[in-house]
Amino acid sequence: MEFSKLFELIVSASLINNFVFTRFLGLCIFFGVSKRMETAVGMSITFTAVMMISAALSWLVFRYVMVPLDITFLKIIVFIGIVAGFVQASDTIMRKVAPSLYHKLGIYLALISTNCIILAVPLINAGERYSLPESLAFALGSGLGFALALVIMASIREKLELADVPGPFRGTPIAFIVTGLLALAFSGFTGLLRM
Amino acid sequence: MNSSLGLIKDGIFKDNAIFKLALSLCPSIAVTNNVRNGVLMGTAVLFVQVMVNVTISLMRGIIHPRIRLPIFMLVISGWVTVTDLVMAAYAQDAYKQMGLYIQLIVAFASILARAEMFASKQPVMPSLFDGIGMGLGFLFSLTVISLFREFLGKGSVWGVPVLHAKPLLIMILPAGGFFAVGILMGFFNCLGARMRKKARSR
């Protein structure tokens, strides 16, 4: 087990192959919750935590149930079941055990199950045959990358509210163009690491 | 017959998933840097949408309302797996580039939304046409975006060079996808506003 490999995975998943800016995943949520900084931060925290745990669960099921039974072709169905089930369970548990936390972050949990990144990470982990620590590092990197994208975008959009944008471009279209500019900036990270 | 045509038209224009509802955006940018991939992805979505609508509509009498969402997810992921395996077998080159995005059709909000709002309440034939309409709308948007990007970014259409000038390389880079969708969305908003104004003055 090399730590440099894990570190490389985190940096690559969060900066170089940032899910939002270079793989275009999780855009619905990205545009949905990046209107205000407060919701963006709440979403980032919830998202990274759920991502790590669901990646670990999916890895265990994939490695110890699906590979021995030779049913890896069912991975889409199984992973979406795991993610949706886990989100539902944590929603119920959090409401009983930590009501104050639930009050703060509960609404984001419900949104997360519709996010494609949360499903893409287990699928990529399975496709690349990552080990458990590698899967976790990849999940952490993806979560951090998504959080970074959300926070940057939210801080820009708060300013954008005051800007004089041409009529037809108000709302989503201008958000897309701003994201394009950010993606351009993020493409500067290409070549940071030789994988 | 008239109403089924109307359903198809609604799916393409009024309820267009990408430009109007801003749903299922991920693939619209990820796979549209050339027309072939855009059309292939659109066709895959069309197929899944139609099959899901028909299946759910056939089963609408036996699905208990309280567990309907897990059942819908199961049906959707079943058909996505079918599409995934078929593409892996017959379109290997394209599958290598966009396999992940095909698998992620499962998370499309628009497919689940149609199953919930339309197919679970209507008989089979309207559901079939609704599926065709929504799917065609998706195919249409992906084709427009990918045409725009391939034409400007590579100066070609479907791999055939048509523009003999230095292309704007940025349009086929990831960033260009965001620009293309933003510009096209603004354009369609503008068009829509103008049409509404015309309708009102009449």
Query: For residue A170, what pLDDT is reported?
Result: 78
Q: Spell out the domain ranges in chain A.
A: 38-184
**Burial readout B114-139 (b: 16 or more C-beta within 10 A, e: otherwise):** bbeebbbebeeebbbbbbbbbbbbbb
Q: Report the SS3 class of residue B156.
A: strand
Q: Spell out the domain ranges in chain B.
A: 2-201
Whether residue B31 is predicted with pLDDT greater than 80 in this model: the reply is: no
Q: What is the pLDDT of residues A72-113, one digit of tens each?
A: 788 888 888 888 888 888 888 888 887 887 777 777 777 776
Please determine, for the modelled complex, whether the ipTM score is greater than 0.85: no
Partner A contacted by B162 (CB < 8 A): no
H/E/C letters for each residue in A69-105? HCCHHHHHHHHHHHHHHHHHHHHHHHHHHCHHHHHHH
The Cα–Cα gap between A109 and A113 comes to: 7
The total number of residues written for chain A in this structure: 195
The alpha carbon of residue A9 is apart from the nearest alpha carbon of chain B, in Å, by: 19
Q: Are B1 and B8 in contact (CB under 8 A)?
A: no
pTM: predicted TM-score of the whole model, two decimal places? 0.80
Residues of A in contact with B100 (CB under 8 A): 120, 123-124, 127
Q: What is the pLDDT of residues B151-165, one digit of tens each?
A: 887 777 777 777 666
Q: Which one-letter amino acid corresponds to residue B125?
A: M
Whether residues B186 and A173 touch (CB distance < 8 A) is answered with yes
Residues of A in contact with B81 (CB under 8 A): 73-74, 76-77
Whether residue A195 is predicted with pLDDT greater than 60 in this model: the reply is: no
Whether residues A27 and B26 touch (CB distance < 8 A) is answered with yes
Shortest CA distance to B5 belongs to which of B99, B94, B132? B132
User: What CA dihedral angle connects A18, A19, A23 and A28, to 10 degrees?
Assistant: -140
Band of residue B24 on the pLDDT scale cut at 50, 70, 90: low
Partner B contacted by A107 (CB < 8 A): no
Task: State the residue for tokens 């309708």.
Answer: B199
Instruction: Count the Cβ atoms, other than its own, within 10 Å of residue B90.
Output: 9
Query: How many Cβ pairs closer than 8 A exist between chain A and B?
Result: 112
Residues of A in contact with B75 (CB under 8 A): none
